[in-house]
Chain A
Amino acid sequence: MKVPLSWLHEYTRPDMDALALAERLAMTGTEVERVLRHGVAALDGFVVGRVLAAEQHPNADRLRVCRVDVGGEAPVQIVCGAPNVAAGQTVAVAQPGAVMPDGTRLREAKLRGEPSEGMILSERELELSAEHDGIMVLADELMPGQPLAEALTIADDVLELEITPNRPDCLAIYGVAREVHAATGAPLAPPPWTHDPGSMGPLAGVEIAVETDRCARFTARVFEDVTIGPSPAWLKARLMAAGQRPISNVVDITNYVMLLTGHPLHAFDLDRVEGGRLVVRQARAGETIDTLDGTTRELDPDTTIICDAQGPTSIAGVMGGARSEVHPGTTRVLLESATWDGPSIQRTSTRLGLRSEASARFEKGLAPEQALEAQAVATRLLIDLAGARVAPGTSDVAGPAGRWWERPPQPIRLRDLRVDGLLGTPVDRERSAAILTALGFATADADDGLDVVVPHFRRADVTREADLIEEVARIDGVDNLPATLPARRDAVGRLTESQRLRRRASDTLAGAGLHEILGWSWSPPELADRLRLGADDPRRRMIRVENPMSADQGLLRTMLVGSLLDVARRNVTRGIADVAIFEAGAVYPVARGTDPREPPPREPRHLGVLLTGAARPATWREPQPPAADFFAAKGVLELLLETLRVGWRVEAATEPFLHPGRSAAVLVREGAGDDARETRVGWLGELHPAIAADWELDRVAAFELDLDAVIAAAPGAVRYEDYTSFPEVRQDLAVVVPDDIAAGEVVRVVREAGGPLLASAEVFDVYRGEQLGEGTVSLALRLAFRSPERTLTDEDVSARRAKIEAALAQLGGSLRA
């Protein structure tokens, strides 16, 4: 909303400059986007002139050499290109040194050999209208040399306001004036609709019928003897400053009244309203209308229209029809001022792609009372500026809900204690009353506060006590509130165990040299195919976004590896060869059998890690570190799960996108003893080389876990285990086993046979060699035996060791010396 200060000052004139006013408005709830300067920046050099002579330029057909009295001792010579310049005219002159609205500074010049000391101005050059066919001719009573600003508003500060959607009353100069009045205390002039030159009562010759509940009120007046022509300069200047292009007096008046009162109007050429009857109804499927902008538009039953005997002639509240448009020959005008249902106006304007100044106001919901306010102002202007004669009477038809706005409004109680209680500081009752009165509310004293009646133009926004408190607070100054802290009573702030462990997980990975990334939550549609997911793979069932901004954002991800690969590729193609990254974030699986019209029951948090390039940075000591492989990723996995104190293991298992010989499932152990169970929480492996190549990557090692499931397996408070009272017995053991027996299986068998006295068993060496024979591998294990109750004897240990050896033999292993 653009508010020219000169226009605003007609209703209220606070004693402050534009910037100070903008600041005050911002601090009372009306955001000022910018303060603009409309017209010229400085008034110097713009004067009234009188053309004494205008003669043909000797060297240019289209130029005239004028002698112009600008109030100096002698007339000056000005070369002018306008076709309408003539001796005797009073004109607007810019003298050398004047700065035009576009910023150029005028200089003395020679045009085709003739000196020119200034410029005779058109309306457009002063941003007074779009008119540029000729120079502007002023009234003769002006004196040459008089400052031009005394004759025309050639400079104006314009506030560009951002009006919040609850305040359509401020999409109006008078509404803003009321707000300025309340915010600054400057007196407010009576509203421009106070004196209505029209009359109520029946209107002859036009019949109105409202057949839809989307129209609360429809009013119409008829004007005869209308003369269509240009608007006067002051009106054009105001429209220009407010950002509207002047067209002709009748159209300009409807726009002017809308800007002033906040209520849009529509003018019909009454002679083009067929049958003298207008019907307001919902459109029927298949109906069409040619709108003012020259487009044929298809209507649907959600659109409210105004019809005459020939069919649709206007789209209610959005745009008029071409058929009944006011034109240069119009002499009889039917002026419509109606109240429309906001949400349906919004739907219609969105569907048709027709967002207009009118629809922007109607869609926020206007009060039916405003319809007649607009009629009153427009009536005055049509009489004054278009020579119109207003026909007696006003057609005033209510919608099916009747004239509900005429019922007396219920007052709202504003309790003093509640004001204090909500704001945290008391506000005097008198102060509250003064603020509300300034904003147009009526107040009456009650025993514990005020009884407040809401004015019609705030009816939709202010319905409760809290809304009144906001009105008082914003004008009294929310910025004057003290800064206090809530009484915290028994509330304690802390992270939950799971939040703490999630932070720990990310910290561990960052500490291990990985960088966290944040990928998009969406997934491109081709990802499932690129990862070769099987047709039944549950990760193929993705949530579809109905209105994505681009096709590759059309689905929600069910795994993190896609965005990890994308990020790795992007970095590698930019020359960053070594990538060690992770992401911790939600995925959005669709569980089988869930209702796709409902949100998914669970959004598990996953943790994904990807390594490619060198396993560690090259240094001068190790210029060529090894490439990150399966075991590099497994090392990261180990570090992570050990840090979280989660019992875990991996077992060989395949994924369609992983190297078939270098992939595993990750399992965690939940619970203890007989209740312990293992849950599969993710995968670990090297990417299938063909899939890595599809992302233009070499060897890629990665894992992805359901972090929620991992954390669910983490123990609570860990209990202390005695390690100081009795010594540990350490022994090494080497066993040769067939190649197809996994080391993890060997350790598992050893642990089982070792029983509770075996405190730990770890593989510390792996050896393959000719002496061992084909298809076998030697594993060296480090065993530690310990009892919490006593010092172990040689017999204790050798008995356990014998059991371990027996179990290994059963597995097909043989001990090495």
Chain B
Amino acid sequence: MIDRIEELRAAGAAEVAAATSSEALEQARVRHLGRRAELPNLLRGVAELPPEQRGAVGRAANVARKALETLIERRGGELAASELDAQLARDRVDVTLPGAPALPAGGLHLLTQTQREIEDVFIGMGFNVAEGPEVEHIHYNFDALNHDAAHPARLRSDTFYVADEVVLRTHTSPMQVRAMEQQPPPIFIIVPGRVYRRDSDATHTPQFHQIEGLAVDVDITLADLRGTLLQFARAIFGDERQVRLRPHFFPFTEPSVEVDVSCFNCTDGLLADGSRCPLCKGTSWIEILGAGMVDPNVFGYVREYGYDPERIQGFAFGMGVERIAFLKHGVSDLRLFYDNDLRFLRQF
């Protein structure tokens, strides 16, 4: 009997070792350990044996069965691993095919991206973002900004009128006065928005975007303007940039300056091949905005809101978003911004 058990175990072990697939292994298991197989039935028949044999036979049969089960389990593990390997090999894909996008890539308009970038720089410097109307009374657009009655910007050849005293704002500066009417000093705001001028060519569109800045407190200086714009220029155009202030004239600032940023496209006005830099035209400076100290006459219009020109002072600046985007991204024709060709929009 014991010998028979050993025969059965050996036969089973051989068959398990020979199984080359999970199905063959399963067949071997059924044949040797299944309900009709001899070894389990031997175990079930132990009770009918004479008592002195029961212990030895039962033990031997049990050991044999356990041994076979272990073999089957081990072999099963080996087979599963190799079968998975084979399956994975069959599942190979061409990884260079295009992905199936969860969503196509969309994007913000380049001018929006530029505007936000500028906004974030000034927010970081403690400015808030104020917004104002585009259809504007000439009081805010010209009068309160110290434009005299004959200022050429008032001409119908330059400015869009919707009524005798109502224009499409020609700059974001009207919000200087509106903001000061709404809030006593100190005031630190930037004003992004659409503005309009009667001009249309490769470097002018009749609608464009500006960002105004206004900082008013008891001790804001022209040197503070320089420092603030230096931070801005470095944040937008790179850490190595310098700014240069040139005296200029604007009706609503005194002193007034134009601000240049050192060219980020060349060295001393020359490109690597020795040719003249097209961006700064060889001057190594690029004009980016107009600025100045708020003219006392402008404060005169909001004196009753806490802006006594003898007690408070501040700076203001205004820049074109299109111009900044054009400089940073080399857009050759500003009209492209409003053409909205998807081949343009997708580039940014």
Contact = CB atoms under 8 A, between A and B. Distances in A.
B150 A516 contact: no
A546 B165 contact: no
B88 interface: no
Nearest to A490: B186
Contacts of A503: 116
Contact of A474 (B112, B116, B135, B247): B247
Contacts of B215: 486
Contacts of B97: 620
Contacts of B166: 597-599
Contact of A481 (B107, B156, B160, B223): B223
Given A487-B219, A520-B207, A597-B165, A506 B135 contact: no
B246 A478 contact: yes
Contacts of B136: 599
A438 to B, nearest CB: 15
Contacts of B151: 165
Given A485-B227, A493-B124, A619-B98, A576 B343 contact: yes
Contact of B248 (A164, A485, A494, A620): A164
A467 B254 contact: yes
Query: Which one of B109, B148, B257 has the highest number of Cβ atoms from chain A below 10 Å of its Cβ?
Result: B109
A277 interface: no
Q: Which of A28, A425, A513, A620 has the most CB of B within 10 A?
A: A513
Interface string A554-583: 001000000000010011001010011100
Contacts of A597: 163-166
Contacts of B296: 464, 466
Contacts of A473: 222, 247, 255
Given A424-B224, A510-B106, A521-B207, A617 B128 contact: no
B293 A466 contact: yes
Contact of A486 (B112, B133, B217): B217
B101 interface: yes
B226 A482 contact: yes
A41 B96 CA distance: 63
B120 to A, nearest CB: 9
Nearest to B220: A486
A31 B249 CA distance: 11
A474 B258 CA distance: 12
A592 interface: no
A546 B161 contact: yes
Interface in A339-392: 342-343, 346-347, 350, 363
Contact of A599 (B106, B135, B200, B246): B135
B111 interface: yes
Contacts of A481: 222-223, 226, 245
B305 interface: no
A586 interface: yes
A379 B148 CA distance: 35
Given A29-B246, A509-B106, A466 B254 contact: yes
A489 B217 contact: yes
B108 interface: yes
B129 interface: yes
Contacts of B157: 350
B104 A616 contact: yes
A511 B103 contact: yes
Q: Majority SS of interface residues in chain B?
A: mixed
B107 A516 contact: yes
Contacts of B104: 513, 580, 616-617
A337 B155 CA distance: 28
B134 A588 contact: yes
B86 interface: no
Contacts, number: 251
Contacts of B186: 489-491
A503 B116 CA distance: 9
A600 interface: yes
Contacts of A581: 340, 342
B170 interface: no
B223 A543 contact: no
Given A466-B254, A598-B166, A517 B244 contact: no
Contacts of A599: 133, 135-137, 166
A292 B337 CA distance: 46
Question: Which bracket fits the contact residues of B?
Answer: 35 or more
A486 B222 CA distance: 10
A298 interface: no
B106 A570 contact: no
Interface string B292-310: 0101100000000000000
Contact of A518 (B111, B221, B313): B111
A816 interface: no
Nearest to A466: B254
A547 B156 contact: yes
A42 B340 CA distance: 51
A603 interface: yes
Contact of B338 (A350, A494, A518, A603): A518
B149 A343 contact: yes
Contacts of A586: 134, 194
Given A510-B107, A549-B200, A486 B247 contact: no
B247 A29 contact: yes
Contact of A26 (B109, B223, B246): B246
Interface in A448-502: 464, 466-467, 469-470, 473-474, 478-479, 481-496, 499
A760 interface: no
Interface in B246-272: 246-249, 254-257
A470 B246 contact: no
Nearest to B244: A479
Interface string B185-207: 01010000010101010000011
A485 B198 contact: no
Which 6 pairs, one residue from A and one from B, show the smallest C-beta to C-beta distance? A424-B223, A424-B221, A29-B247, A474-B247, A343-B150, A164-B249
Given A466-B255, A478-B247, A506-B108, 5 more contacts: A521-B196, A580-B104, A588-B135, A617-B101, A619-B101
Interface of B: 97-98, 100-101, 103-109, 111-112, 116, 119, 122-129, 133-137, 148-152, 155-157, 160-166, 168, 186, 188, 194, 196, 198, 200, 206-207, 215, 217, 219-224, 226-228, 230-231, 243-249, 254-257, 293, 295-296, 313, 337-343, 345-346
11 contacts: A27-B247, A29-B246, A31-B248, A464-B296, A485-B228, A510-B106, A543-B135, A576-B341, A588-B134, A588-B135, A619-B98
Interface of A: 26-29, 31, 164-167, 342-343, 346-347, 350, 363, 421-425, 464, 466-467, 469-470, 473-474, 478-479, 481-496, 499, 503, 506-507, 509-522, 543-549, 553, 556, 567, 570-571, 574, 576, 579-581, 585-586, 588, 596-600, 603, 616-617, 619-622
